[in-house]
A and B are shown apart, each in its own frame.
Chain A
């Protein structure tokens, strides 16, 4: 089939003329000032981070210089006597974060799945709202609640664990007969603060799983659980891992709960169920900083720097994992 078209001769433009025109023009003065303002305020955020690291390092230097390798080899923690053994504090901080994350992760993922897939539809926005609201409730309220209620309630199960499964080194108490004010109690209460964090992030990631693939899985005769394991979880795996890592960072830095519940101690022990066991970095800083000698203050600032850098790295990894997951979904 031919179309009779008027002969217009050769086109004036080459065939591949649909390249975008470069619209970037020289910015006017107002734009330059405005962009400078924006860049300046961004630089301030950057300076804030650099400032925190530099100032903490400068003020922690005298402890670092005096302590040196003693940070890892000294016998105990007593900065005034130039003893800087950070192992009990570090181990306690990590133990609290680990206990709370190990307890919080499975039930938070269950709650996220519940909100997204299992709960009655009219209830879903309410459950989401309650979880998001509880993520903003201050941790001192959780801490006080834990101190008054959970600390007492957890003593009976802790006693049972010590009586029956004390062949596991964790399930022992450093002070026989006492089960309160322990690392385990702190971890248990921190669990409650971590649940909203893991739930809300993993719920958002799970909601991004493509709905048509979910429907296809159901349409092929799969069960709902089959859809969850074969579609939703693979799609949101990275996001869930990222959420758990963020929660680890939060658990490491959790301050008020530990301050309210834990008893002050720093003995390197594997027993997690009683008072007078491991210490905690936020606890040590909070309770000792105000009235400490210059050397003690410097040592505590050094501890703060260690904590800050650790959570910084964990957060960066977590964000990278979450971002990659949302990109791979698209």
Chain B
């Protein structure tokens, strides 16, 4: 096959070599857009024609039929033009887009609908809604007469107590699960996993049985509600903290151990401070998860239209409970107030979530706060100490 070719004697004009660039496949080719648009128009026209001829009505049925017709037409076009494999790929893309839209639309619709219905209620009497209690509530009371103040106080106190109870326990348990790998820790880890998704109502009944019933009439307090929220929160905080503590580099801890510190000191002074950003995020996410839980507080908080600042005595209200009460009372204005409470609840959760994201976005690592104050030096002292020795 060897063949010698004579080199052309004439000099060729220099060829324009395109620069070596990576091919970008971001944009959709124009042909695809035309095929998609054509199929969509054809499907819409076909379904509209058939529905009009047959006299069928129903937006949902029409939309579904359009989707089916669109998939059929687009599939045939792609099959004819590009073959079976390309057709499968294109149809799968259509299916995934429609599935994702079907999932995303209701999710966004919840937020938009709640905001649409609720913000006007809160706005109508802005500070009052956060400051007043529900004692003036009647079926026709105007929005200026009532407010979610008592419920907000209740939620803050109950969730606060639950946080104070669960965060130390959760962090200690998570530390144990990370540092020890034995049969006991495996069982505990399994239990934490299993309880993370257990029904919320169970926490309510459990605390009702062991805490509310023995105290007869005085049983339903804010503290009882905090206890049942803790039952919900403990597995969540433990699991989240465990994930955070597990990613602390082992070399940091080993360095501390190699310097001769005992294990407890290296854990408290190196591991946990390194993970503190993640721990705060875990705590906030735990708070966000339980702040809106209704089922645990149903039998434990009791509900109270008046202000009750003391979580340890007397019935207390909180936001989810208030919302449930408002939904179950009839009266147009009461339903309207329920939307107001809903939007407050969603705002609390969204704020906590964004806060957790913002804090979590910071890079974890050691900070100056791990150096005890007594070991710190003033800048002058430090300069003097570390000044180069002059010969």
B residues in contact with A285, CB < 8 Å: 201, 205
Q: A45-B192, A226-B85 are in contact. Are A315 and B198 (CB under 8 A)?
A: yes
Q: Mark B42-85, 1 if CB is under 8 A from A, else 0.
A: 00000000000000001011000000000000000000000001
Total cross-chain contacts (CB, 8 A): 265
A38 touches B173 (CB 8 A): yes
Nearest CB of chain B from residue A137's CB, rounded to whole Å: 6
B107 touches A44 (CB 8 A): no
Q: Mark B290-319, 1 if CB is under 8 A from A, else 0.
A: 011111001100000000000000000000
* Binding-face segment, A169-177, A209-217, A252-260: A252-260
B327 touches A224 (CB 8 A): no
Of B96, B185, B335, the most chain A CB neighbours within 10 A belong to: B96
Bound together, the chains give a CA A252 to CA B200 distance in angstroms of 11
* Binding-face segment, B174-182, B364-372, B374-382: B174-182
B202 touches A286 (CB 8 A): no
B106-141 CB contacts (< 8 Å) to partner A:
106-111, 113-114, 117
The SS class assigned to the A binding surface is: helix
Q: Mark B161-196, 1 if CB is under 8 A from A, else 0.
A: 000000011001101110110001101101111111
Contact of A225 among B89, B102, B289, B353 (CB under 8 A): B89
Q: Any chain A CB within 8 A of the CB of B323?
A: yes
Interface residues on A, range: 35 or more
B209 touches A301 (CB 8 A): yes
Bound together, the chains give a CA A118 to CA B90 distance in angstroms of 12
Contact of B100 among A55, A111, A156, A196 (CB under 8 A): A111
Q: Any chain A CB within 8 A of the CB of B244?
A: no
Contact of B264 among A34, A130, A195 (CB under 8 A): A34
Q: A30-B264, A133-B350, A145-B110 are in contact. Are A38 and B179 (CB under 8 A)?
A: yes
Of A104, A114, A191, the most chain B CB neighbours within 10 A belong to: A114
The SS class assigned to the B binding surface is: helix
Q: A45-B235, A140-B324, A147-B327 are in contact. Are A107 and B110 (CB under 8 A)?
A: no
Q: Mark A180-218, 1 if CB is under 8 A from B, else 0.
A: 000000000001100110010000000000000000000
Q: Any chain A CB within 8 A of the CB of B8?
A: no
Q: A49-B195, A246-B197 are in contact. Are A282 and B295 (CB under 8 A)?
A: yes
A307 touches B202 (CB 8 A): yes
Q: A113-B96, A304-B201, A315-B197 are in contact. Are A260 and B267 (CB under 8 A)?
A: no
Bound together, the chains give a CA A275 to CA B344 distance in angstroms of 32
Q: A42-B185, A49-B195, A260-B327 are in contact. Are A129 and B179 (CB under 8 A)?
A: no
A250-298 CB contacts (< 8 Å) to partner B:
250, 252-256, 259-260, 282, 285-286, 289-290
Bound together, the chains give a CA A301 to CA B122 distance in angstroms of 39
Q: Any chain A CB within 8 A of the CB of B103?
A: yes
Contact of A252 among B199, B327, B335 (CB under 8 A): B199
Q: Any chain A CB within 8 A of the CB of B389?
A: no
A residues in contact with B205, CB < 8 Å: 56, 285, 289, 300-301, 304
B110 touches A141 (CB 8 A): yes
Q: Any chain B CB within 8 A of the CB of A134?
A: yes
- Can you give 15 A-B contacts (C-beta < 8 A)? A31-B262, A45-B191, A45-B192, A52-B231, A107-B102, A108-B103, A115-B100, A138-B349, A148-B117, A157-B60, A256-B295, A256-B324, A260-B327, A301-B205, A319-B194
- Minimum-distance CB pairs A-B, first 9: A138-B292, A110-B99, A253-B199, A34-B264, A38-B176, A223-B89, A114-B100, A225-B92, A41-B172
B residues contacting A by CB (< 8 A) are 26, 58, 60-61, 85-86, 88-89, 92-93, 95-100, 102-104, 106-111, 113-114, 117, 168-169, 172-173, 175-177, 179-180, 184-185, 187-188, 190-202, 205-206, 208-210, 231, 234-235, 238, 262-265, 267-268, 285, 288-289, 291-295, 298-299, 320, 323-324, 327, 335, 338-339, 342, 345-346, 349-350, 352-353, 357
